[in-house]
Structures are given as structure tokens and as C-alpha cells.
């Protein structure tokens, strides 16, 4: 009972603090918000000449910021290797011997 | 207080974060804890991608050559969150692999039973 | 999958899933999609193939083959991207591309990069799921 009550109070305090932060954010959908600066205009208008791709998000992810995608593919590869290493059974054991 | 209703996507993202957090705290089963962590990740992606919307503009894809770049939404938050989604999937997969190993050693998935077994001296393989 | 109905139906639907995934990868620079979405769809097709025909899947798509494909795709992506970065540093000036608009080959090297990312994503998801399914059989 103590555990349920303390978890509920802790989560409510956390949500109140986060919602206080949401009240300070700029309005939704206006054109003069801080993220929309000259970087967005450069990517939107010159993406066809520079890369030849009509999809601006593809041009950003693969050409302008393609180094991030290389590191992210490495993260996927590392995750696959880690899972293979941690689920490997040693030679000579089977699944029934480990379950007691 | 008006801002909470105008930015309703951000309010929903924060409430979803709280729901995921409470799922993480109140359940004993390890798989339900992993689901709670995944819900928290998804709420942060929603919060970030919404930051790129401009009212009255459309998706950033050229449909004909005469389109100007002046009526597109901001493509940058969507492109940055692709990497985040991949990291969330990798974390969930690794957590599930660790759950399989815990079940192999202790024979159970409930977290309070595992703590009880460790406290009363359980010899492992 | 021990049911005969599933095996007979999945002879047709698996090929449709692969075609859909390859279409999304190849048109990554013309419409929404790209490497990640197409790779996920192809991985779903591979998992379905593994659940319906386990012996054929263990012979053709063994652990060795999938790991070599993932490593090869990662190396190809890394070498092409390093060439682009060095080309931007060492060479000044700007070359415009003259290709037919709205064609598949109009993106230049974006096609190869999309394919490499698709192979990496599909291979990773398939090999992880194959390990999780091994405990059942």
C-alpha cells in the first residue's frame, strides 16, 4: 500500500513540474518559432540542386547529415552483436539443463 | 493555463510520459517494466516531432519542379528523430535478451521473487 | 508453424511483401520512405519465411551469411560517405547533376546508400528474432 501511494505521488509531482514547463513553450504552429530559421530555408530550397533528391528528409538524413546515419547503423550492428553474445549457449549444454 | 490547451500535443506527450513512468514503478513483471520504458521513449519522440509544424504548409516533398521551397514544414525534427527511434528499438531488444538470461538462472520473471531468492542465498550455475 | 493452410497461403504473400519493401527502398528519394522503412518491411517478410520454412531458411540464410551481408553493407556505406566528405574538403566548386527528373537513377549515390541501410536494418532484425525464436523449437 505504501508503494502504490508513494509511486502515485511521485508521478503526479513529476507531471506537474513538466506541465509547468509546457506553459512556457512557444505557440503551436506559428511561423516565427525558434526552430524555423535560415537552416530550414537552405534545406528546403536548395535540396534538389545539391543532391538531386525530391524528398527533403531523405536528403538531410543521407546527404547533409549522412555521418550521423553511419554512426547509427553502427549502433544497430553493435546491438545485434551484443544480443548474439549474451544469448549464446556454451558447447555441450542444451536448453533443458539450465532450467531448474 | 491557456497554453496547455493550445499546445495540446505537448500536454499529451507529458501525460504519456507519466503513464509510462507509473507502469515502470508499479508492476513486478519484467516484461511490463520494459513496456513502460518503451512508452516513455515514444512520448519523447512525439514531443520532439511536433516542434516542426507550421500552420498552412504541407509535407516537404517536391511534387513538381515548379514548387518553391517556401510552403514546406520544417524537415529537421523528423530527420533527427529517426536516429532516436533506432536507439529505442536497440535498447528494448537488449533488455528482452537480458530477461531471457534472468529466467534461465532464477526460473522466474517477477522481480520481488528474484530479490527474495538472492537474499536467502540461492546458488547459481 | 505446423499448419498446412499457412504454408500454402504464404507461398504467394511472402513475394508480395518483398516487392513492397524493395519498392519503398528504391523510391526513397522521390516519396516518403527510404532505407529504414523498407528495411523493416523486408525484415518482416524474412521472419515470416523463417517461421513457415525452417529448414530452407537455416540453409540459405544461416548466421554466417547474414553477418557477412551486414558487415559488407556497413563497409560500403562507410567508404562512400568518406569519399563524399573528403571530396567536399579537397575540391572547391560545385557540380550540378544532369539526369532525367523523377527517375530512380536521378539521385546519384543516394540509391546505393538507401540499399545499404535497408540491408543492415533487415539483417539485424532478422538475426535477433531468429535467436529469440530458437528457444521454442
> Average pLDDT in the C30-49 region?
93
Q: How confident is the model at residue C97 (pLDDT cuts 50, 70, 90)?
A: low
> Average pLDDT in the C128-136 region?
82
pLDDT in tens, A44-61: 888 888 788 888 999 999
Percent of chain A with pLDDT over 70: 90
C-alpha to C-alpha distance for C20 and C33, rounded to whole angstroms: 11
For B67, the grid coordinates are 514548387
Q: Are C42 and C35 in contact (CB under 8 A)?
A: no
| Subunit contact A82:B94, Cβ cutoff 8 A | yes
> Average pLDDT in the C66-83 region?
93
Domain ranges of chain C: 4-136
> Average pLDDT in the C30-34 region?
89
**Which chain C residues contact residue A66 at CB under 8 A?**
81, 84, 113
- pLDDT number for residue C94: 57
Residues of C with a Cβ under 8 Å from any A Cβ are 28-32, 34-35, 63, 70-71, 74, 77-78, 81, 84-85, 94, 96-97, 99, 102, 106-108, 110, 113-114, 116-117, 120-121, 123-124, 127-128, 131, 135
For C50, the grid coordinates are 523463417
C-alpha to C-alpha distance for B16 and A36, rounded to whole angstroms: 26
Q: What is the mean pLDDT of chain C?
A: 86
| Residue A31, min C-alpha distance to chain C (Å) | 24
pLDDT in tens, B62-81: 887 766 767 889 999 999 99
For B57, the grid coordinates are 504548409
pLDDT in tens, B9-66: 999 999 999 999 999 999 999 999 999 999 999 999 999 999 999 988 888 888 877 6
What global pTM score does this model have? 0.87
- pLDDT number for residue A97: 47
CA angle C52/C53/C55 to nearest 5° reads 145
Class of domain B2-119: mainly alpha
End-to-end CA gap in chain B? 58
* Beta strand residue intervals within chain C, DSSP E: none
pLDDT in tens, A57-88: 999 999 889 999 999 999 999 999 999 999 88
Q: Are B41 and B95 in contact (CB under 8 A)?
A: no
What DSSP character marks residue A25? S
* Cβ partners under 8 Å of residue B81, min gap 6: B45, B48, B49
- Of B79, B61, B81, B80, nearest to B71 (Cα)? B61
Chain C residue with CA closest to B96: the answer is C132
What DSSP character marks residue A62? I
CA atoms within 13 A on the CB side of B68: 4
- Of B65, A59, A85, nearest to C32 (Cα)? A59
Q: Are C120 and C80 in contact (CB under 8 A)?
A: no
> Average pLDDT in the B2-8 region?
90
- Of A48, A45, A66, nearest to C35 (Cα)? A66
Q: Does A54 touch chain C (CB under 8 A)?
A: yes
What DSSP character marks residue B69? G
Amino acid at each position: 500500500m505504501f508503494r502504490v501511494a508513494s509511486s502515485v505521488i511521485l508521478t503526479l509531482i513529476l507531471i506537474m513540474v513538466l506541465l509547468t514547463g509546457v506553459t512556457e513553450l512557444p505557440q503551436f504552429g506559428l511561423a516565427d518559432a525558434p526552430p524555423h530559421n535560415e537552416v530550414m530555408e537552405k534545406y528546403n530550397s536548395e535540396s534538389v540542386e545539391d543532391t538531386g533528391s525530391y524528398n527533403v528528409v531523405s536528403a538531410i538524413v543521407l546527404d547533409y547529415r549522412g555521418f550521423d546515419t553511419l554512426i547509427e547503423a553502427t549502433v544497430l550492428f553493435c546491438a545485434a552483436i551484443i544480443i548474439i553474445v549474451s544469448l549464446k549457449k556454451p558447447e555441450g549444454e542444451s536448453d533443458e539443463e539450465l532450467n531448474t | 493555463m491557456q497554453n496547455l490547451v493550445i499546445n495540446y500535443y505537448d500536454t499529451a506527450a507529458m501525460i504519456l510520459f507519466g503513464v509510462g513512468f507509473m507502469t515502470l514503478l508499479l508492476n513486478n513483471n519484467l516484461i511490463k517494466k520494459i513496456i513502460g520504458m518503451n512508452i516513455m521513449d515514444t512520448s519523447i519522440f512525439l514531443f520532439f516531432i511536433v516542434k516542426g509544424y507550421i500552420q498552412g504548409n504541407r509535407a516537404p516533398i517536391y511534387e513538381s519542379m515548379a514548387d518553391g521551397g517556401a510552403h514546406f514544414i520544417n524537415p529537421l525534427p523528423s530527420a533527427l528523430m529517426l536516429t532516436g527511434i533506432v536507439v529505442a528499438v536497440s535498447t528494448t531488444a537488449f533488455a528482452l535478451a537480458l530477461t531471457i538470461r534472468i529466467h534461465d538462472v532464477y526460473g522466474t520473471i517477477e522481480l520481488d521473487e528474484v530479490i527474495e531468492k538472492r537474499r536467502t542465498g540461492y546458488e547459481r550455475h | 508453424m505446423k499448419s498446412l493452410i499457412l504454408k500454402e497461403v504464404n507461398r504467394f504473400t511472402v513475394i508480395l511483401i518483398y516487392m513492397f519493401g524493395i519498392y519503398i527502398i528504391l523510391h526513397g528519394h522521390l516519396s516518403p520512405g527510404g532505407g529504414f522503412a523498407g528495411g523493416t518491411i523486408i525484415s518482416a517478410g524474412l521472419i515470416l519465411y523463417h517461421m513457415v520454412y525452417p529448414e530452407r531458411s537455416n540453409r540459405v540464410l544461416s548466421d554466417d551469411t547474414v553477418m557477412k551481408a551486414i558487415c559488407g553493407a556497413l563497409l560500403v556505406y562507410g567508404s562512400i560517405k568518406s569519399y563524399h566528405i573528403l571530396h567536399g574538403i579537397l575540391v572547391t566548386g560545385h557540380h550540378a547533376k544532369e539526369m532525367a527528373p523523377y527517375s530512380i537513377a536521378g539521385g546519384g549515390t543516394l540509391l546505393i546508400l538507401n540499399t545499404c541501410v535497408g540491408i543492415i536494418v533487415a539483417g539485424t532484425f532478422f538475426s535477433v528474432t531468429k535467436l529469440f525464436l530458437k528457444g521454442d523449437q
